[in-house]
Amino acid sequence: MRTPKRRTRGWALLISAALLAVVALVVVGCGGSTTTSTAATTATTSGGTETTAAGGGGGGSAVSISNFAFSPASITVKVGDTVTWTNQDSATHTVVADDGSFKSGDLGQGATFSFTFSKAGSFTYKCGIHPNMTGTVVVQ
Ligand SMILES: [Cu+2]
């Protein structure tokens, strides 16, 4: 009963050593062009500030509506990004761009509204029901 256990441990060690060697080879082999095989590298280093959402390159940003305010009141995104507003108040709110480029319907509690910004610029908006609630989306 002893020997099989030892053997298993030995194998485990061997396998992990082999895996390490492979990883090292992959990392070294890639040299400067780390971009092509970032998946392998990020998996091991867990160096990830990017949470790539499903879909093509576009990111997502969230604005919550709570206590009769947009939070964050000002958000900066990139062209092609989608901003999603979520109403967390029991009161109904809307999201209406001052220039008319986007407009939600009535958002009850828990309802969301998303808009994808395809043009750069600074877009101010307000709640159509409570005009003192204002926000800005800066698209770069
Ligand atoms: Cu409102």
Residue extents of the structural domains in the chain = 2-45, 60-139
Return d(Cα 125, Cα 92) in angstroms, integer: 16
Predicted pLDDT at 2: 52
Give 60-139's CATH code, choosing from 2.60.40.420, 3.40.50.10320, 2.60.40.150, 3.20.20.70.
Answer: 2.60.40.420
- Of 116, 95, 115, 114, which Cα lies nearest the Cα of 106? 95
CA of 127 from ligand 1 middle (Å) equals 5
Predicted pLDDT at 53: 37
Q: pTM (2 decimals)?
A: 0.60
CB atoms within 10 A of CB 123: 20
CA of 74 from ligand 1 middle (Å) equals 16
24, pLDDT greater than 70: no
83-98 pLDDT per residue, tens: 999 999 999 999 999 9
Predicted pLDDT at 8: 53
Return d(Cα 132, Cα 84) in angstroms, integer: 20
